[in-house]
Structure 1
Amino acid sequence: MAATWEESVTSSINTIYLLFSAYLVFVMQLGFAMLCAGSVRAKNAMNIMLTNVVDAVVGSLSFYLFGFAFAFGEGSNSNPFIGTSFFALKDIPSSSTYDYDFFLFQWAFAIAVAGITSGSIAERTQFTAYLIFSCFLSGFVYPVVVHWVWSSSGWLNPGSTRFLLFGSGSIDFAGSGVVHLVGGIAGLWGSFIEGPRVGRFDAFGKAIPIRGHNVTLVVLGTFLLWFGWFGFNPGSFDKILVAYPDTTDQGNWTAVGRTAVVTTLAGSTAGIITLFGRRLLVGHWDALDVCNGVLGGFVAITSGCAVVEPWAAVVCGFFAAWVLIGLNILALKLQFDDPLEATQLHGGCGAWGLIFTGLFAKEEFVVQAYDSGVVGTSRPYGLLMGGGWGLLGAQVVEALAIVGWVSLTMGPLFYILHKLKVLRISVDEEIAGLDVSSHGGQAYVHTDENQPRFYADYVRMQAN
């Protein structure tokens, strides 16, 4: 039966909206690149830029060949825990039955995960290791979690047709857990197994500050990520026009604006609280602190962005800031070295975002997002909003399941790479800088103006 004119227009608008959202999410790759480049020392800038490009290109191929099947495969071999059997690519919906715009949007999410992990192990990792873990993470580990939460047959999906956990399912609308917690826990294991950078802690375990070389790039990257988040969160309404059967509203557009607003409020609140909190702790204002605070707020609100009120987003951002500050203090005490604070930011704030949603989700918005606004529908919602324990329990289960799954997969992978001596570079290479030791460039080795500025000059002086 041919589609009516109205159906064709609706389909076109939905496609354009999702594609534009995918483009915004892809812009976040540029934001990651700028943030990473500014946060590392100059002698590693080329390396970190290259790894960001590699995350995109390797992730594209691995997600196309394997990842999409694991995430959304619905063939005879599919089950609630993994989309399809390994190499059973016949279970990927054929090109005539699935939308390319949906694939592109999911691909943009997939390549973001590896970028999070890359930041945790920056400045000391062999390039071969980047290729291996990026392919494995975006092609298998991450897509399995996607299937749990976002596939209609996933065991954590709030609209699952097979199993509805605690009568609710887990609400992770744009991926505080699926994207950020996965990337953060993967980075945790990589950074832990590699150990801290040379010179990060002295012989007594005291932290020695290692500052990035360009705060301008950090701020630029932060604003690009902020811009991209307007595709990340509002764009997760993959169809902006969906007929609500019992209302006069014509679809998800009624919630898109609110989702963008709560995203902004959470990030802004976390940024200002982090700025003042760190000012009290260290005694000065720091642009890097407020940038990481903003991103921590965005990470936290990503789970519940479609189902909470704007005032709740302020609460989310407030606590996200203290989660970030607290985890950074703990990391120093444990001599854990993450150059971009990616584990603390994406892992810690991502976990808080899941819990926050279980506490503050509003029933009306949950029905709107997951039942197309059908009047009379009853669903578990936020505990502090009177919705009982069902949703919060599902959120906790998702967080624990992600931590367990990523630990069981990425932990052994990093350990094997370590044992095969293909994970960490040598001490001499690290001191010289990855740009010169691995990529044929020049790198700064001293900041004192009376000392040689480039590693090549340093080598010549040593030879003489």
Structure 2
Amino acid sequence: MEVSWEASVADSINTVYLLFSAYLVFVMQLGFAMLCAGSVRAKNAMNIMLTNVVDAVVGSISYYLFGFAFAFGEGSHSNPFIGTYFFALKDIPNSTYDYSYFLYQWAFAIAVAGITSGSIAERTQFSAYLVFSFFLTGFVYPIVAHWVWSSSGWLSPSSSDLLFGSGAIDFAGSGVVHLVGGIAGFWGSFIEGPRAGRFDAFGKAVPMRGHNATLVVLGTFLLWFGWFGFNPGSFDKILVSYPTASNQGNWTAIGRTAVTTTLAGSTAGLVTLFGRRLLVGHWDALDVCNGLLGGFVAITSGCSVVEPWAAIICGFVSAWVLIGLNIAALKLKFDDPLEATQLHGGCGAWGLIFTGLFAKEEFVIQAYDSGESGVSRPYGLFMGGGWALLGAQVVEVLAIVGWVSVTMGPLFYALHKLNILRISVDEEMAGLDISSHGGYAYTGHHAEESRPRFYTDYMRLQDQS
């Protein structure tokens, strides 16, 4: 069949845009690596860097062999819950799911494993990372992606049989990516328990600050940069046929999505800055960085379907969600070194609810019906769109929490029972770098400074005995 010159050019532009967006999302792996490295103590820097590399390389294989097929498979095995089973690139002839689309979706998949790694940092055996990373990227995450992003998924807003006549709107993955990673991290951190020395004998939290604020800030800005591929890049076709403006494509929506992303993150960072100042009595760059990321996580669901002013509300609330969950975590003696459960889980869930409240009908039709005139869809409750969309968003939150809990919870528990999840107390006190990776990431005084005082006293007593 002969393809017109205009169609060929449009396909080329769409492909280049999608690949460029994939590269931006992949840059977020570097952002995760820097953020994690700076947020842990120096004696564990080598370990956390290696786990970030492992998330990418293991995720590549598992997502190629299994994950992409589970997420976007179509064929004899396809159903609303699970797609085609194995070797997706070979089994799916549909040109929509070509190599560039695979690469973009792969970049999302490995981000999920990176989120979970942060929750169990500084006390986990390296072999456990290999197991959970493969399982999470190859099976657990792709099933959720199929539910929401595949045209045959039961939660999909593009399905022929829309849930509540709406489907759940999770445009770039507040739920599919962040809530999945956050809940998986919760179970890992909960089953492992707090790091040695995190809480004293009276249950009071002992500060365990990361060793390098510079790396945290660098990682935050890299993640911000990558988010412009994460959110605006989720318009995988920027040139589409619009009935009212055939040459418009998705350009307007892409620009608006970038703006809402920026405003939500910036608002959350600013609110966290002053909120933590009131609570702890000083300005804290690390708290601001996490607040900023919490805003990005929350807006990721509705970035394409809300007004810029609504994004400011999203960021404002997400900051307090994060602050509140961090306070609750300390009271419950829950130890997540990167605050990944609170940040990605809590703010991700809020982002889904926010979309059900503030989505604008015009933008929903623009994002999911190519601006088709005469189309009516449920939209945000506060925008006059009724309860249908909000109901679908709540169902997505509950479904993700349930699915990840019944898959990742038993996996971490099995690893725990097999004694291959957590390192020994002695290894933890010495640091994973020296006990598992042959030496510290830093030389000289940095390694000595990374050792807490009680570890020095402990080793002196061991020598005397």
Asked if Structure 1 and Structure 2 have the same fold, meaning a TM-score greater than 0.5 normalized by the shorter chain, the answer is yes
Letter in 2 for 1:277: G
1:408 equivalenced with 2:406 (yes/no): yes
Cα pair 2:122 2:195 within 8 Å, conserved = yes
- Per-residue displacement from partner, 1:391-447 (whole Å, max 9, x unpaired)? 000000000000000000000000000000000000000000000000111376653
Work out the CA distance in 2 between the residues paired with 1:168 and 1:411.
31
Paired position in structure 2 for 1:216:
214
In structure 1, the residue matched to 2:267 is 269
Overall identity of the aligned pairs, in %: 81
Match of 2:71 in 1: 71
Rate the CA distance shift 1:95–1:440 in 2: closer, same or farther, 3 A: farther
1:97 Cα shift?
6.9
C-alpha contact (below 8 Å) 1:47/1:435 kept by paired residues: yes
Partner of 2:328: 330
Q: Distance in 2 between matches of 1:337 and 1:445?
A: 23
Aligned AA (2:141)? Y
Aligned partner of 1:342 in structure 2 is: 340
Task: Tell me if structure 2 keeps the 8 A contact 1:442–1:454.
Answer: no
| In 1, Cα distance between equivalents of 2:398 and 2:157 | 17
- Give a deviation string over 1:240-281, Cα, whole Å, max 9, x none: 101112334531112000000000000000000001000000
SS in 1 for 2:152: coil
Query: CA contact under 8 A between 2:43 and 2:451: conserved in structure 1?
Result: no
Q: Does 2:103 correspond to 1:104?
A: yes
**TM-score, normalization by structure 1:** 0.95
TM-score (norm 2): 0.95
Q: Tell whether the 8 Å contact from 1:173 to 1:304 is kept in structure 2 after alignment.
A: yes
1:38 aligns with 2:49: no
Taking structure 1 as reference, are residues 454 and 15 closer, same or farther at Cα in structure 2, changes over 3 Å only?
farther
Q: Distance in 1 between the 2:174 and 2:31 partners?
A: 18
Deviation per residue, 1:176-225 (Å, 9 max, x gap):
00000000000000000000000000111110000000000000000000
Which of 440, 444, 449 aligns to 1:447? It is: 449
- Is the CA contact (8 Å cut-off) linking 1:177 and 1:398 kept in structure 2? yes
Amino acid paired to 2:28: M
State the distance in 2 between where 1:21 and 1:454 align. 48
- Cα shift readout 1:72-114 (whole Å, capped 9, x = no counterpart): 11111111011134x4759831486742110000000000000
- Paired position in structure 1 for 2:7: 7
Find the aligned partners of 1:449 and 1:343 in 2 and give their Cα distance.
26
Please tell me whether the aligned partners of residues 157 and 171 of structure 1 are also in contact (alpha carbons under 8 angstroms): yes
Structure 1 distance, partners of 2:94, 2:393, is: 34
1:109, 1:179 within 8 Å by CA — same for their partners in 2? yes
Q: Which runs of 5+ in 1 are unaligned?
A: none
Whether the 8 Å contact between 1:40 and 1:339 is mirrored in structure 2 is: yes
CA gap 1:244/1:197 in 2 versus in 1, 3 angstroms: same
Which residue is equivalent to 2:422? 424
Counterpart residue identity of residue 34, structure 2: M
After superposition, the CA RMSD in angstroms is: 2.2
Distance 2:450 2:146 in 1: 52
Partner Cα distance (2:412, 2:388) in 1: 36
Q: 2:119 — aligned with what? A: 120
Cα separation, partners in 2 of 1:156 and 1:45, compared to 1, 3 Å: same
Distance 2:295 2:133 in 1: 26
Alpha-carbon shift at residue 463 of structure 1 (Å): 8.2
Taking the aligned partners of 2:135 and 2:452, their CA distance within structure 1 comes to 46
Structure 2: distance between partners of 1:459 and 1:91: 60
SS at match of 2:346: helix
Q: Determine the C-alpha separation between the residues in 1 that align with 2:222 and 2:121.
A: 21
2:20 counterpart of 1:23? no
Mapped partners of 2:95, 2:379: distance in 1: 37
Question: What is the CA-CA distance between 1:460 and the residue it aligns to?
Answer: 13
**1:59 counterpart = 2:54:** no
- Count how many residue pairs are aligned between Structure 1 and Structure 2: 460
Q: 1:218 to 1:167 in 2, by over 3 A?
A: same
**1:207/1:449 CA distance change after superposition, 3 Å:** closer
CA contact (8 A) 2:179 2:344 kept: yes
Amino acid at match of 1:45: A
Contact preservation (8 Å) 1:111, 1:138: yes
**Structure 2: which amino acid aligns with 1:64?**
Y
Superposed displacement of residue 317, structure 1:
0.1
Per mean C-alpha deviation after superposition, the further-off stretch among 393-402 and 244-253 is: 244-253
Cα deviation, residue 325, structure 1: 0.1
AA in 2 matched with 1:349: C
CA contact (8 A) 2:125 2:422 kept: yes
Letter in 1 for 2:17: Y
